[in-house]
Amino acid sequence: MTSESLLDASGVCKSYGPVAALRDASLTVGPGEVHALVGANGAGKSTLVKILTGAVRPDSGRILIRGRDRKVHSPAEARRSGLVSVYQEPALIPDLDVADNLRLTGTPVDPFMKWVRALGIDKLDLFETARDLPLAVLRILDLARALAIEPDVLLLDEMTAALPANLAEKVLDVVRRQCETGRSVIFISHRFLEISALCDRATVLRDGETVGVVDVEAGVEEQIVELMLGTRTELGRAAGKPQQSAGDRRPEGETPRLRISNLGAGTKLEDVSFDLQVGEVLGVIALEGQGQDELFGVLSGSRRALTGKIEVDGTEARFRHPADAIRAGLVYVPSNRVDALLMQRSVRENIALPFCAGAWGPIDMAKENVRVDGAIERLQIDTRAQGEVQRLSGGNQQKVTIARWIATGVQTLLCFDPTRGIDIRTKREIYSLLRELAAQGSSVLLYTSELEEVQLVCDRAVVIFGGRVVDVLPADIANEPTLMRAAYGLPREVSSDAIPGSAPAHGASGIELGPA
Amino acid sequence: MSTGTAVAIPIGRRLRRFLRDQPLVPLIVLLVGLVIVLEVLRPGIVNERWIANTIKFAIPLAILASCQTLTMLTGGIDLSVGIVATVSAFVMATQVTTHDPAIAIAISLLPAILIGLANGIGAGVFRVHPLIMTLGLSLIATGGLQVYQRTVLATGSAIPDSLAWLGTGRTNGVPNSLVLFVPLAAVIILGLRRTGFGRLLYAIGDNENAARLSGVRAWQVIVVLYALSGLLAGIAGLVYVGLIKAPSLSLAVPLLLPSVAAAVIGGTSIFGGRGGYGGTIVGALILTVLTTLLTVLQVPEGARRILFGFIILAVTAAHVRITEDS
């Protein structure tokens, strides 16, 4: 097998500090094969891609290209050894025209143009600046540029994500033809439809390990989802999780804290509608890049919506600045703490920051002490490392970003993957805190990349795929397999344990939620 | 990797951390050191009169440096302070011949605030880099001052007694300018620590995006900040003309670079988010003593400037090295 495969990577490991991104990943691609690489968020796909293309060096492992050991140390070397990749983001330099971009990478123009035409773009001005071209065209040009080099192995990362249907069809066509000449393609996609239409085999990654290689045939989706889930260790239910969800307790006809109708923003968020009730923790589940960043951006006031409307407590709201959202009671906790913290300043100043935004005058230190100390105690922030926030641990830093809003008396907390990269103890503390807040009448919108968190903290979960709500599930049926299927846009499985006798009516389907 | 070094924090790191938490200590040590060197070179020079003189000259510089400190905390800088101080001094000196001193002072501070306001609108609203914005307005203000001078050629100029008293006078050996400076410095130091506005300066300089997410409208802070900086520069100009007693079209311009240097030596990070006014005051004193030292050594003017530049660079580099996290 090894001798005849084009690419053979085995035992690839990579750790970033204490975090193992890849434990034991392998990937074997035969000649003339379209090979899918799949895995949930954080499974290690992107790390493996970066290693294959030479952007990141593995800690251990072996990569053979055409049976020869290749130490790939840079994208240029990977390219010379016959592996070319097309990334999710356009790779042309925006301020150069197309011709200059080609010259920069030494791409021959004639084959490039041939591929551009084959990919369905008839008119292309080589002297147009890349910045002025639409995103879909840029993706096509990236692909044509890769094809023009005639690579042995072509790596496509979410190639069809930004493409309209007709161009996507052309791309799949070209990929198929590419393989007829004995070349191979590694195809990374969240779309099972494309995978089953195009790919021969699929390698499934979970928690940094290759957990299976399957032949793509009818019904393979189930097999892949199962592999992606595996048997995962239970985190244990968070303290204070009510058996009854807030949705059930809510009296009929009460205005929701937040009603989102047909919201669209940027290129990814197309049409999302849902309600967030008073006292509810609502999970948002989505694969990477399905529009969740845009959704939280709009709700937190850092981005403008293109379509749709937001109602807070029954009144329509429009946010031009995070300050507007905060005034309406919507506060944002980003996953990346670097975005939210003043790293060189003290815990106190970080927590008190939202107050200073509105009050420039002298600070009542006694009052501030009470508020800050209260928040620190409630979140049990370890302040032994006095002084700068950058000296705190990651978990404690994340607590500071939340404490800031606890101190102000939060109404609606927008949490974007707040437990990413923090330890289990802090995770549990954050879960209990979110439940406590909900019990006290606050509402929480929680985007999470860890599916188990839905049943640990949420009352319901909204699943977004391709910029649209594809399902709304009450927490009691939102187990990992169900969520995973929904997140991949698959229909809900009707199995015996998944039929909720007591499911709230509003949780049955996302389509019913949107205003007609 | 012996266990000893792993458990105990190395002395170097501990010293760094201490210096980082107490940035004033090494500065004061340096200041005292310079004074000692001066005394050794010219025994008897350090007396009450010399100290009072040093303070008198350090104060206008320290006020100008407050503009740099405040703007640098947000990651900006105000390069218009030299000319703004000059404009205020010149306008006051020419207006006082026809107006009451109090009114002349009020009139003279108006252009200072306006220039600062324009800086703030450019930097905060139109997002022009403060370096470019304030440099550009310096040029405009320089030209404006020349135009203004033509219109007042006939009036002549004068320094009101009150400003002369403030700038040069001493009461029981203590310079009168401290009457203005001590409360001013106290307001700035306390304002930075104990007001929302002060905290916001640090917040914007540390992480503007985080400040934004917490609801801070940075542009408002920036506009007010540069207007305030203009006002402070204007006040510095008035004190300085009271000391020099000869208004000219380039009166305080040579103080621009020392004002930046005083803030940097004083430990304010030019990248924003870190620093304070206490260090800046010591920085201004260090620069003033340094000037005296070079004068006493009878170094020729050219060599003096070269040395001055080198010393500023060396002190700044040393300070950054000591206080940055390794």
Residue spans per domain, chain B: 47-323
Query: How many C-beta neighbours within 10 Å does residue B90 have?
Result: 26
Cα separation of B160 and B167, whole Å? 11
Band (pLDDT 50/70/90 cuts) for residue A18 is low
A254-513, which class in CATH? alpha beta
Q: Could you give the CA distance from residue A489 to residue A275 in angstroms, rounded to a whole number? A: 21
- Asked whether the predicted pLDDT for residue A435 surpasses 90, the reply is yes
Band of pLDDT at residue A384, cut at 50, 70 and 90: low
Mutate to test the interface with A, among B13, B199, B212, B225 (most CBs of A within 10 A): B199
In the predicted structure, residue A239 carries a pLDDT above the cut 50: no
Residues forming beta bridges with residue A186, ordered by sequence position: A35, A155
Tell me the torsion sign for CA atoms A473, A477, A481, A482: negative
Residues of B in contact with A300 (CB under 8 A): 213
Nearest by CB: A363 against B194, B209, B212: B194
Interchain proximity B215–A322, CB inside 8 Å: yes
pLDDT for residue A85 = 87
pLDDT digits (tens, 9 = 90+) for B91-150: 999 999 999 999 999 999 999 999 999 999 999 999 999 999 999 999 999 999 999 999
B68: closest CA of chain A, how far (Å): 20
Residue A243 pLDDT > 60: no
Q: What is the mean pLDDT of chain A?
A: 83
Contact B209 A339 (CB under 8 A): yes
**Which one of B196, B206, B215 has the shortest CB-CB distance to A343?**
B206
Is the pLDDT at B312 greater than 80? The verdict is no
* CB contact residues (below 8 A), chain B span 46-85, against chain A: none
Assess whether pLDDT exceeds 50 at residue A238: no
* Second CATH level (architecture) for the domain B47-323: Orthogonal Bundle (1.10)
More reliable by pLDDT, A248 or A281: A281
Q: What is the DSSP letter of A495?
A: -
Going by their DSSP bridges, the two strands A269-276 and B174-175 should be labelled as unpaired
pLDDT band at A503 (very low <50, low <70, confident <90, very high): very low
| Domain definitions of chain A by residue range | 7-229, 254-513
Q: Name the residue facing A341 among B196, B197, B210 (closest C-beta).
A: B210
Nearest CA to A29 out of A53, A46, A9, A15 is that of: A9
Looking at residue A515, its pLDDT comes to: 38
Retrieve residue A165's tokens. Answer: 């249907």
Is-contact A115 A84, C-beta < 8 A? no
Mean pLDDT score, A92-113:
90
Residue, of A192 and B278, whose pLDDT is higher: B278
| CB–CB contact A342 B211 (8 Å) | yes
Chain A partners within 8 Å of B212 (Cβ): 302, 321-322
C-alpha Rg value of chain B to the nearest Å: 21
pLDDT value for B269:
86
Residues A321, B196: C-beta atoms closer than 8 Å: no
Spell out which residues of chain B touch residue A319, defining contact as CB-CB under 8 Å. none
* Cross-chain Cβ contact A365/B207 below 8 Å: no
Region B157-166 average pLDDT: 92
Tell me if A361 and B195 make a contact (CB, 8 A cut-off): yes
Q: Which residue has the higher pLDDT, B264 or B183?
A: B183
Chain A's closest residue to B210, CA to CA, is A340
Fold of the A7-229 domain: Rossmann fold (3.40.50)
pLDDT (0 to 100) of residue B314 = 85
List residues of A whose CB lies inside 8 A of any B CB: 300, 302, 321-323, 326-327, 332, 334, 338-345, 349, 352-363, 365, 387, 404
Give the mean pLDDT of chain B.
90
Task: Convert the pLDDT of each residue in A55-88 to its tens digit.
Answer: 888 888 888 888 877 777 777 888 888 888 888 7
Residue tagged 């700068």 (tokens): A388
* Cα A399 → chain centroid: 22
* CB-based contact B213 A355, cutoff 8 Å: no
Chain A residue closest in CA terms to B218: A357
Tell me which residues of chain B, numbers 291 to 310, contact chain A at a CB-CB cutoff of 8 Å: none
Write the DSSP symbol of residue B178: H
Block residue for tokens 């006292």: A279
Size of interface A-B (CB pairs under 8 A): 90
Question: First vs last Cα of chain A: how many Å apart?
Answer: 56
- pLDDT score of A516 more than 50: no
Query: What are the pLDDT digits (tens) for B225-241?
Result: 999 999 999 999 999 99
Is pLDDT above 60 for A256?
yes
Is the pLDDT at A237 greater than 60? The verdict is no
Q: Tell which of A353, A367, A392, A415 to mutate to test the B interface (max B CBs under 10 Å).
A: A353
B219 has pLDDT over 60:
yes
Which of B202, B214, B217 lies nearest to residue A354, judging by beta carbons?
B214
Does pLDDT of A172 surpass 50? yes
Question: Which value does ipTM take for this structure?
Answer: 0.86
Q: Inform me whether the pLDDT recorded for A385 exceeds 70.
A: no
Mean pLDDT of B269-286: 92
pLDDT of A495 > 80? The answer is no
CA distance A325 to chain B (A): 8
- Measured CA to CA, the distance from residue B21 to residue A187 in angstroms comes to 53
pLDDT at A47: 85
- Compute the radius of gyration of chain A from its Cα atoms: 25
Residue B256 pLDDT: 94
User: CB neighbours of A382 closer than 8 A, spacing ≥ 6?
Assistant: A392, A393, A396
Assess whether pLDDT exceeds 60 at residue B7.
Answer: no
Q: A357 and B273: CB-CB below 8 Å?
A: no
Question: How high is the pLDDT of residue B326?
Answer: 38
Confidence class of residue A494 from pLDDT cuts 50, 70 and 90? Answer: low
Tens-place pLDDT, residues A352-368: 999 999 899 999 999 99
CA distances from B199 to A22, A325, B77 (A): 43, 22, 18
Q: Which pLDDT score is estimated for A507?
A: 38
Percent with pLDDT over 90 in chain B? 70
Confidence bin at A240 (pLDDT 50/70/90): very low
Residue pLDDT, tens place only, A217-226: 887 888 888 8
Q: Rounded mean pLDDT of A375-397?
A: 80
* Angstrom distance (rounded) from CA A394 to CA B59: 44
Other beta carbons within 10 angstroms of residue A291's beta carbon come to: 26
Whether B203 sits inside 8 A of A345 (CB atoms) is: yes
**Which of the pair, A388 or A447, is modelled with greater confidence?**
A447
Which residue matches tokens 């540069």?
Answer: B226
What value does the mean pLDDT take over residues A123-141? 87
Within 10 angstroms of residue A385's Cβ, the number of other Cβ atoms is 13
* Closest CA in chain A for residue B224: A360
**In chain A, which residues have their Cβ closer than 8 Å to the Cβ of B200?**
356-357, 360
Q: Indicate if the pLDDT at residue A166 is higher than 90.
A: no
Report the pLDDT averaged over residues A132-148: 89
Mean pLDDT of A126-146: 88
The confidence band for A52, taking pLDDT boundaries of 50, 70 and 90, is confident
Interface mutation target, options A326, A333, A356, A390, chain B, most CBs of B under 10 Å: A356
